[in-house]
């Protein structure tokens, strides 16, 4: 291949660095088709958005520290809640998972790159542009979108100049997600090394295959929904106006047909990461590999038939309420299979508690709490009380922060030595973990109580009986936010190659093709398909008890 010939011309073989000059360095990142470069870009973008969205969360928590109006006016407060959600979902969590997929899937299945590397570049570079459009709405007349990330009409149609910017930013993010997802599916289906059969793939690859399928299925539906909003506002259509025979509730149906699979898009890759980390540090095979795959597929299927549980109070025939209540409860079955499998994997294992494992164990505990509160919300008659209260806020933050975000953080700690070639600072990692875990609970656990007592979501002021719990939550939020600077420092240190050199295997109990290449992973890996040895794949596979 051509870069073998380049080797002699170029002093340091490989991609341009800053020492080659800024222009060359910038062009390297702009034009890169390398899955590792793009994975890095995705992860840094995700990290940046995590801080931007987090700063908005702190504006919200500062305002809610005490009852009464303190820092911001209500309109700006509402802009913060809508923007915080949009940025965290589409800017932090999804690109975080795509970054991990970029880095790890080709190395896990033994191929050189994603199937469509230029499309991969396109999928990434759309995001900075899309978020420039979205975040710049803060500075246009009328301010940013303030009708929540769900954009329910007719309220969202009152958004001023920010409105078309919001819609087109979502269209661009949709292009990014769909092209990225097609790339992942095609890579997994077409590029596996010989011998890497579907049921030998690491679970992270499996969960991403199913996630990508969900993305391709539902992102176009979101595009359709926001397009209808756009034409309702500017081109006189009446999809969501009863006067013309449409229905505002119809938007909720279309939106949540996207939105519920979307929440599994935000959690299935997390399941894959946790299923990768736990066997490594329990030094045992993953318990119930096949059932994990089937459970993931079942969750994906069920995600298409539960959407209206977000709308129990919006007005639906009783038969529909019952159907969506029971279908939602069914999801507890495959999810329970997973939780039991993780626990069974740890059962009698030789456990050690490095930072990735701590995050994975915290995930199992805290995600399960979020799952249980979800089960409570699934009960339609009870949901009439819970709907639009802080109980819902507590629920989805438990599944998204100590769920999705903890998995991303655990994954970063787990694979950082493979990416950078150096071990991160374990003491700092433990500090980061414990502060994060304590503060995440201080932040979100009291919200269950204020929610059950009736505190509504998305309000800048509240009745005085909620004051204590809000004060605790705000303290926790600031503690959580500032703890993340430890994480930032750890990652920067690793990027600067500060730390002990990592071995190829990195973790004693780690198995998989990604651990057969050196640390840091060379710029190009598996340019010819590797031999897939049983030692690397059976370790993640369910074996009979005598093994």
Partner 1 sequence: MATHAAIEDQYFVPAPSWWPFALTAALFVLVHGIVGYLNGTGFGTIPSIVGVIGVITMVVVWFRGVIAESEGGLYGAQVDRTYRWAMGWFIFSEVMFFAAFFGALFYARMYSLPWLGGDLPATNEVLWSGFEFTWPSNGPAALGGAFETIPAWGIPFLNTCLLVASGVTFEAAHHALKEDKRGRTLAFMVATIALGAIFLFYQAEEYVEAYSHLNLTLGSGIYGSTFFMLTGFHGMHVTLGVIMLTVVTVRIAFGHFTTDRHFAFEAVGWYWHFVDVVWIGLFIFVYVV
Only segment of 164-172, 352-360, 444-452, 484-492 that touches partner 1 (CB under 8 A): 164-172
> Does 111 sit near partner 1 (CB under 8 A)?
yes
**Nearest CA to 303 among 337, 338, 258, 272?**
258
CA distance 282 to 458: 42
Q: Which of residues 192-231 bind partner 1 (CB under 8 A)?
A: 216-221, 223-225, 227-228, 231
Asked whether position 239 contacts partner 1 by CB under 8 A, the answer is yes
**Is 456 strand, coil or helix?**
strand
CB-nearer residue toward partner 1: 178 or 455? 178
Q: Minimum distance between the CB of residue 320 and partner 1, rounded to whole angstroms?
A: 10
460-479 binders of partner 1 (CB under 8 A) = none
What is the smallest separation between the CB atom of 441 and partner 1, expressed in angstroms?
Answer: 38
d(CA 493, CA 420): 10
The secondary structure of residue 91, as a DSSP letter, is I
**Interacting span for partner 1 (CB under 8 A) from 174-182, 342-350, 395-403, 513-521:** 174-182
| Pair 404, 266: CB distance under 8 Å | yes
Read off the tokens for 59: 């504006």
Handedness of CA 412, 415, 418, 419 (dihedral sign): negative
Q: By CB under 8 A, is residue 30 in contact with partner 1?
A: yes
Minimum distance, C-beta of residue 164 to partner 1, in the bound complex (Å): 4
Q: How far is the CB of 530 from partner 1 (least distance, A)?
A: 12
Residue 27 sits in the site that holds partner 1 (CB under 8 A): yes
Q: Of the two residues 121 and 328, which places its CB atom closer to partner 1 in the complex?
A: 121
Task: Check the CA dihedral 180-182-183-184 and report its sign.
Answer: positive
CA distance 300 to 318: 25
Q: Residue 70 Cβ, how far from partner 1 at the closest point, in Å?
A: 32
Tokens of 159: 């958004």
Instruction: Please give the Cα distance from 353 to 115 (Å, whole number).
Output: 36
254 near partner 1, rule: CB under 8 A: yes
**Contact pick of 62, 253, 426, 489 for partner 1 (by CB under 8 A):** 253
Does 28 bind partner 1 (CB under 8 A)? Our answer is: yes
Out of 73, 461, 468, 527, which residue is the one contacting partner 1 (CB under 8 A)?
A: 527
Q: Compute the least distance from the CB of residue 293 to partner 1, in Å.
A: 20
Phi, psi of 112, rounded to the nearest 5 degrees: -80, -30
By C-beta, is 66 or 231 nearer to partner 1?
Answer: 231
Which helix (H) or strand (E) covers residue 59, if one does? helix 35-63
Size of the site for partner 1 (CB under 8 A): 73
Distance of CA 8 to the CA centre of its chain: 42
Compare residues 175 and 453 and give the one whose CB is closer to partner 1: 175
* 14, 58, 112, 459: which one binds partner 1 (CB under 8 A): 112
Q: Is 121 in the site for partner 1 (CB under 8 A)?
A: yes
Q: Which of 43, 35, 38 is nearest to 413 (CA)?
A: 43
Please, are residues 257 and 214 in contact by the beta-carbon 8 Å criterion?
no
Which of 46, 45, 50, 37 shows the shortest CA–CA distance to 102? 37
3-state per-residue secondary structure call for 401-425: HHHHHHHHHHHHHHHHHHHHCECCC
Candidate segments 123-131, 263-271, 290-298, 539-547, binder of partner 1 by CB under 8 A: 123-131
Of the ranges 32-40, 144-152, 353-361, 510-518, which one interacts with partner 1 (CB under 8 A)? 32-40
Catalytic residues: 84, 113, 149, 176-177, 260, 262, 264, 275, 309-310, 335, 338, 457
Binding residues for partner 1 restricted to 505-524, rule: CB under 8 A: 524
């Amino acid at each position: 291949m051509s870069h073998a010939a380049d080797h002699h011309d170029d002093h340091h073989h490989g991609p341009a660095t800053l020492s080659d000059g800024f222009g060359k360095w910038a062009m390297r990142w702009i034009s890169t088709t390398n899955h590792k470069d793009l994975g890095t870009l995705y992860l840094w973008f995700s990290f940046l958005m995590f801080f931007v969205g987090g700063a908005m969360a702190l504006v919200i928590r500062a305002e809610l520290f005490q009852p009464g109006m303190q820092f911001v006016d209500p309109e700006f407060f509402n802009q913060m809640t809508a923007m915080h959600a949009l940025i965290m979902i589409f800017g932090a969590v999804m690109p975080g998972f795509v970054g991990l997929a970029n880095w790890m899937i080709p190395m896990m299945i033994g191929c050189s790159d994603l199937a469509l590397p230029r499309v991969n570049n396109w999928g990434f570079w759309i995001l900075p542009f899309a978020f420039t459009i979205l975040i710049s709405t803060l500075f246009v007349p009328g301010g940013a979108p303030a009708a929540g990330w769900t954009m329910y009409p007719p309220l969202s149609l009152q958004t001023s100049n920010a409105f078309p910017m919001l819609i087109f930013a979502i269209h661009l993010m949709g292009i990014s997600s769909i092209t990225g997802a097609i790339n992942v599916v095609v890579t997994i289906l077409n590029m596996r090394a010989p011998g890497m059969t579907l049921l030998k793939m690491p679970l992270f690859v499996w969960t991403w295959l199913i996630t990508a399928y969900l993305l391709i299925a539902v992102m176009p539906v979101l595009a359709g929904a926001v397009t209808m909003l756009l034409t309702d506002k500017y081109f006189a259509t009446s999809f969501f106006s009863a006067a013309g025979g449409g229905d505002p509730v119809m938007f909720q149906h279309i939106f949540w047909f996207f939105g519920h699979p979307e929440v599994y898009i935000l959690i299935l890759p997390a399941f894959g990461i946790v299923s990768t980390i736990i066997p490594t540090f329990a030094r045992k095979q993953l318990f119930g590999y096949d059932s994990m795959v089937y459970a993931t597929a079942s969750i994906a299927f069920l995600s298409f038939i539960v959407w209206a549980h977000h709308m129990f109070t919006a007005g639906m025939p009783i038969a529909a309420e019952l159907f969506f209540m029971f279908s939602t409860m069914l999801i507890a079955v495959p999810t329970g299979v997973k939780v039991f499998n993780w626990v069974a994997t740890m059962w009698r294992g030789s456990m050690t508690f490095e930072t990735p494992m701590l995050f994975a164990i915290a995930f199992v505990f805290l995600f399960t709490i979020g799952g249980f509160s979800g089960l409570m919300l699934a009960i339609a008659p009870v949901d009439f009380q819970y709907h639009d209260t802080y109980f819902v806020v507590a629920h989805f933050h438990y599944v998204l922060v100590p769920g999705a975000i903890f998995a991303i953080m655990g994954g970063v700690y787990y694979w950082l030595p493979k990416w950078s070639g150096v071990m991160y600072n374990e003491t700092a990692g433990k500090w980061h973990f414990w502060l994060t875990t304590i503060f995440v609970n201080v932040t979100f656990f009291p919200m269950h109580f204020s929610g059950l007592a009736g505190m509504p979501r998305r309000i800048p002021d509240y009745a005085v009986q909620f004051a204590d719990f809000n004060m605790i939550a705000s303290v926790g939020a600031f503690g959580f936010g500032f703890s993340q600077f430890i994480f930032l420092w750890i990652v920067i240190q690793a990027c600067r190659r500060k730390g002990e050199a990592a071995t190829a295997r990195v973790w004693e109990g780690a198995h998989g093709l990604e651990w057969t290449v050196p640390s840091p992973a060379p710029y190009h890996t598996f340019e010819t398909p590797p031999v897939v040895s049983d030692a690397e794949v059976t370790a993640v596979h369910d074996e009979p008890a005598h093994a």
